């Protein structure tokens, strides 16, 4: 019987193709070729009607058997291929847990920011709030309201960056409305006192600018941290106690503090604060220039003239202020010999902190 033989050779051919299909796509192509809508076995089943009526049941049954057998073979092969594929993937993606780990170097804060945060935390611990002000500032806040007389040398265009070009005309002196890059964070004292009534306890970190050439102890742009306290009954003793606490917290309890009389236009009396050298302990060595002491900040009692600019009654309130350079504090704390290292971005230096 011709049709039965055709069917059985179709079966053999189909089973061979299933067995030799090497991946799931090839197997699917085999399934479509034999069992799909236009597949060869499907067409045999469709053609049953053309057979003699007595042949139909036999051939039909045979064709159905072959189809079932083929479906089973395809399913089995599919499972086989799937588990082979899984095994290959597990092999390829396997992790050797005995390999040594690769070291990651996560980023961290720049030393200047670490110092600013550390100092801020000390004063926040004393109940201070953090305030900020603009880096591009009015002459009024940077100098005038801080009691700088009009002829004060710091106002000169040789010391301060003015936004307006003052270079050509000799008569073109800076005035109160001039805009400049602030030379210190002290103008924020005035801004805070203008908008807030005492009691005031603020810490003001920020960038400041001076027309200096960068050298081991100067940067044209650096970071200051300003403090301002205004309250009833504030004395120089409060200032000194506060600064001693600050020095112990940042430099350690063995360091001593010394105040030297100084002058600032906006504080009276004023002082500079020195901390005993961490290397020689005050004896005098190379790192403190033989002095035994290192200067860390400027400070003083708020001048009543400054209070008059912001409408605070000097009969009722008194206050103190201080200002320090964060880069300098960092250099003193860690023995950095040249401030320029702090802004050059050399990773070999920065990674040490």
**Residue 323 interacting with ligand PHE (CB under 6 A):** yes
Helix (H, G, I), strand (E, B) or coil at 143: coil
- Residues 60-70: b if buried by 16+ CB within 10 A, e if exposed: eebbeebbeeb
**Who's near 178: CB < 8 A, 6+ residues apart?**
138, 139, 162, 163, 164
Taking CB under 6 A as the criterion, the residue among 73, 300, 318, 329 binding ligand PHE is: 300
**Nearer to ligand PHE (CB atom), residue 154 or residue 343:** 154
Provide the minimum distance between the beta carbon of 187 and ligand PHE in the complex, in angstroms, as a whole number: 9
**Residue 307 interacting with ligand PHE (CB under 6 A):** no
Taking CB under 6 A as the criterion, the residue among 299, 301, 306, 332 binding ligand PHE is: 299
Number of residues that bind ligand PHE (CB under 6 A): 12
The residue whose Cβ lies closest to ligand PHE is 323
Place of tokens 């001039």: 178
Provide the minimum distance between the beta carbon of 294 and ligand PHE in the complex, in angstroms, as a whole number: 16
Residue 338 phi, psi dihedral angles, 5° rounding: -145, 120
**Residue 186 interacting with ligand PHE (CB under 6 A):** yes
**Residue 184 interacting with ligand PHE (CB under 6 A):** yes
**Residue 322 interacting with ligand PHE (CB under 6 A):** yes
**Nearer to ligand PHE (CB atom), residue 223 or residue 270:** 270
Provide the minimum distance between the beta carbon of 253 and ligand PHE in the complex, in angstroms, as a whole number: 25
Pairwise CA distance, residues 78 & 87, whole Å: 14
- Token pair listed for 282: 């005050």
C-alpha distance from residue 22 to each of 25, 35, 106, 174, 190 (Å) = 8, 19, 46, 86, 82
Taking CB under 6 A as the criterion, the residue among 162, 209, 264, 317 binding ligand PHE is: 264
**Nearer to ligand PHE (CB atom), residue 34 or residue 141:** 141
Residue 123 phi, psi dihedral angles, 5° rounding: -80, -30
Contact 152, 265 (CB under 8 A): yes
CA 234 to chain centroid, in Å, comes to 38
Residue numbers at the binding site for ligand PHE (CB under 6 A): 184, 186, 226, 264, 267, 270, 298-300, 321-323
């Amino acid at each position: 019987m011709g049709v039965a033989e055709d069917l059985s050779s179709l079966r053999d051919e189909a089973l061979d193709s299933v067995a030799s299909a090497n991946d799931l796509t090839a197997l699917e192509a085999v399934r479509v070729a034999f069992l799909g809508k236009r597949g060869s076995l499907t067409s045999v089943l469709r053609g049953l009607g053309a057979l003699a009526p007595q042949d139909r049941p036999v051939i039909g049954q045979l064709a159905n058997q072959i189809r079932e057998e083929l479906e089973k073979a395809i399913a089995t092969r599919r499972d086989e291929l799937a588990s082979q594929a899984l095994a290959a993937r597990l092999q390829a993606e396997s992790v050797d847990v005995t390999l040594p780990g690769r070291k990651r170097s996560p980023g961290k804060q720049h030393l200047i920011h670490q110092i600013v945060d550390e100092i801020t935390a000390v004063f926040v611990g004393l109940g201070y709030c953090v305030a900020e002000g603009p880096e591009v500032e009015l002459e009024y806040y940077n100098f005038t309201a801080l009691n700088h007389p009009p002829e004060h040398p710091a106002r000169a265009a040789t010391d301060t960056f003015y936004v307006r070009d003052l270079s050509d005309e000799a008569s073109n002196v800076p005035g109160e409305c001039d805009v400049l890059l602030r030379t210190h964070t002290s103008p924020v004292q005035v801004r805070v006192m203008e908008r807030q009534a005492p009691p005031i306890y603020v810490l003001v970190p920020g960038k400041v600018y001076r027309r200096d050439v960068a050298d081991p102890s100067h940067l044209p742009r650096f970071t200051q941290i300003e403090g301002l306290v205004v309250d009833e009954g504030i004395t120089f003793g409060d200032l000194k106690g506060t600064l001693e606490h600050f020095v112990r917290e940042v430099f350690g309890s063995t360091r001593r503090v010394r105040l030297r009389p100084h002058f600032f236009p906006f504080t009276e009396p004023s002082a500079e604060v020195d901390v005993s050298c961490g290397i020689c302990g005050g004896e005098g060595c190379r790192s403190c220039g033989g002095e035994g002491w290192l200067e860390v900040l400027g400070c003083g009692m708020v001048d009543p003239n400054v209070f008059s600019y912001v409408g605070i009654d000097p009969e009722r309130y008194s206050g103190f202020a201080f200002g320090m350079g964060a880069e300098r504090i960092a250099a003193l704390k860690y023995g950095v010999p040249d401030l320029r290292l702090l802004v050059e971005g050399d990773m070999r230096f920065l990674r040490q902190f």
